[in-house]
């Protein structure tokens, strides 16, 4: 398998996408030199074998970067990655859930990708379902402006409603046609705006509730004597 350094969209050669995947280090966004050096030091603990990167199709304008948590060698992943590349996305694929969620929730990762697809069937082969849910809940609170699509062949149908927003913005039944993928992306982007508003409103309400509780008297305050020479006693 060809090993190559990570290429940004502006540096990527304009050539057709291949069925071969590159083994690459953790993706790094174009940043000032000192920030890039810091990113490289931070990424040293993540093995290069976790990552794959494929380029957009020839003559397709690269407009976005997408991220997939999936098996890069599975047919479903190859199909989705190829279709995303055809839509103008550069695609980063990670087959390690810890490395993936860690990169997505770090400060730089929040502004690196504009779309996330997660192959649930792949994750459930190695991670407990409750752990997946916990990771998704944390991710959705940490990175609220990243549209997220869950992909599984266990889904009875595509679901692009807003009932599951704490977990994801849309659900896509695999295998998916290009048309259904485009619909899922469009609805995920729309639903994500709704999620951001709900999450922001929930945070404001939580702050208000916390402030109200802080203003309430507690036992310690009630024990403060009104006269400095008086010492409160308890029976």
Asked if the structure places residue 12 within a domain, the reply is no
Q: Give the C-alpha distances (Å, rounded to integers) separating 228 from 204, 205, 224.
A: 39, 38, 9
Residue 227 in domain: no
The per-residue pLDDT for range 22-74, each reduced to its tens digit, is 333 344 444 444 444 444 334 434 344 466 666 665 555 556 889 999 998 88
pTM of the model: 0.66
Distance between start and end Cα atoms, the chain:
77
- Report whether 97 contacts 127 (CB < 8 A): yes
Mean pLDDT of 120-144: 88
The single residue listed with the structure tokens 């071969």 is: 20
Domain that holds residue 181: 22-217
The CATH number of residue 158's host domain is: 3.40.50.2300
What's the DSSP call for residue 3?
A: B
Is residue 106 one of the residues assigned to a domain? yes
- Alpha helix ranges (H) inside 93-177: 97-105, 120-123, 129-142
* Res 219: pLDDT: 41
Whole-number mean pLDDT of the chain?
Answer: 70
Position 192 in a domain? yes
Give the residue among 146, 157, 141 at the shortest CA–CA distance from 191: 146
Is residue 228 a part of any domain in this protein?
Answer: no
Number of Cα atoms under 13 Å in the Cβ half of residue 77: 26
3-state secondary structure of 135: helix
Q: How many domains does the chain have?
A: 1
In a domain, 222, yes or no: no
In a domain, 231, yes or no: no
Whole-Å CA distances, 203 to 196, 198, 213: 10, 9, 15
In a domain, residue 124? The reply is: yes
């Amino acid at each position: 398998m060809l090993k190559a350094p990570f290429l940004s969209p502006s540096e990527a050669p304009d050539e057709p996408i291949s069925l071969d995947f590159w083994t690459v280090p953790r993706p790094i966004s174009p940043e000032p030199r000192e920030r890039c050096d810091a990113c490289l030091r931070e990424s040293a603990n993540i093995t290069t074998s976790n990552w794959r990167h494929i380029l957009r199709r020839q003559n397709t304008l690269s407009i976005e970067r997408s991220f997939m948590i999936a098996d890069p060698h599975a047919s479903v992943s190859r199909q989705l990655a190829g279709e995303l590349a055809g839509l103008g996305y550069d695609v980063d694929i990670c087959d390690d859930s810890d490395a993936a969620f860690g990169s997505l929730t770090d400060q730089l990762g929040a502004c690196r990708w504009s779309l996330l697809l997660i192959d649930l069937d792949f994750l459930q082969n190695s991670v407990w379902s409750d752990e997946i849910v916990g990771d998704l809940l944390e991710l959705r609170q940490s990175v609220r402006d990243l549209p997220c699509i869950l992909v599984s062949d266990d889904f009875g149908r595509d679901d692009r409603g807003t009932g599951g927003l704490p977990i994801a913005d849309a659900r896509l039944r695999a295998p998916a046609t290009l048309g259904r993928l485009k619909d899922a992306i469009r609805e995920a982007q729309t639903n994500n705006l709704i999620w951001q508003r709900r999450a922001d409103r929930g945070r404001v309400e939580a702050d208000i509730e916390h402030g109200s509780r802080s203003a309430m008297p507690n036992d310690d305050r009630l024990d403060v004597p009104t006269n400095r020479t008086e010492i409160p006693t308890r029976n």
